[in-house]
């Protein structure tokens, strides 16, 4: 699957879900989402492995399955890849452990981090935070659309916009140069995760069709 063809990028969050992260992932897959990231900061490794296996099962042959931060969990469940923050395992080391066929995404808060990630072998950049967000308390100060524009000018790999994305601003991040976008609270905290996933995917896909 070409990462540039992905529209909505789904990220789980156990602190916001009204059900379970597994049920949320299943809802996202039913909505046609093509990439699911399992993001968990507070569970023991054993519980994470169980949840990761369940989400992987939901994604099977329908969506790519990535694990946030934890290369060990990704290896344990044979996920499609990982997403790494700046404080996580270096991308080049993760590549050695995971192999060439796995996907590695790296969060970048500025152009230098994005360039470094591309050089280290990242498959995509998570540009974050674009707008103010309360979902990731360690995200830092919002950089605005200029973050996406600046990264787009300096890297060739796909960009996922992250941080404060909602239906009102998602088109603007695409216009700035993102290939896809992630929205956490705007989707997970809703009453109908599947419906919101469809709405976001529809907005992104409509923008791409109109701007081919």
CATH number reported for the structural domain that contains residue 118 in this entry: 3.20.20.70
Average pLDDT over residues 63-85: 98
Domain of residue 58 covers 3-210
Dump the DSSP string for 34-75. Answer: SEEEE--SSS-HHHHHHHHHHHHHHHTTTSEEEEES-HHHHH
- Which residue, among 15, 57, 23, 61, has the nearest Cα to 39 in the 3D structure? 15
Q: What pTM value is reported for the model?
A: 0.96
Per-residue pLDDT reduced to its tens digit, 10-23: 999 999 999 999 99
> 193 near 150, Cβ under 8 Å?
no
pLDDT at residue number 5: 93
Q: How far apart are CA 120 and CA 176, in angstroms?
A: 24
Average pLDDT over residues 158-175: 97
């Amino acid at each position: 699957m070409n990462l540039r063809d992905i529209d909505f990028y789904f990220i789980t969050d156990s602190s916001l879900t009204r059900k379970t992260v597994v049920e949320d992932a299943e809802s996202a897959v039913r909505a046609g989402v093509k990439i699911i990231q399992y993001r968990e900061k507070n569970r023991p490794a054993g519980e994470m492995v169980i949840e990761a296996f369940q989400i992987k099962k939901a994604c099977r042959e329908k969506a790519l399955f990535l694990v946030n931060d934890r290369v060990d969990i990704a290896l344990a469940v044979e996920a499609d890849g990982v997403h790494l923050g700046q404080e996580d395992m270096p991308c080049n080391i993760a590549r050695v452990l995971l192999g060439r066929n796995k996907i590695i995404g790296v969060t970048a808060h500025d152009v230098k981090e994005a360039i470094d990630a591309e050089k280290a072998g990242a498959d995509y950049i998570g540009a974050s935070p674009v707008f103010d967000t309360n979902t990731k308390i360690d995200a830092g100060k919002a950089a605005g659309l200029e973050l996406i524009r600046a990264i787009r000018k300096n890297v060739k790999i796909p960009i996922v916009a992250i941080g404060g994305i909602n239906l009102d601003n998602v088109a603007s991040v695409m216009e700035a140069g993102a290939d896809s976008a992630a929205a956490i609270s705007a989707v997970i905290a809703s009453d109908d995760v599947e419906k919101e996933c469809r709405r976001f995917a529809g907005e992104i896909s409509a923008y791409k069709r109109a701007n081919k």
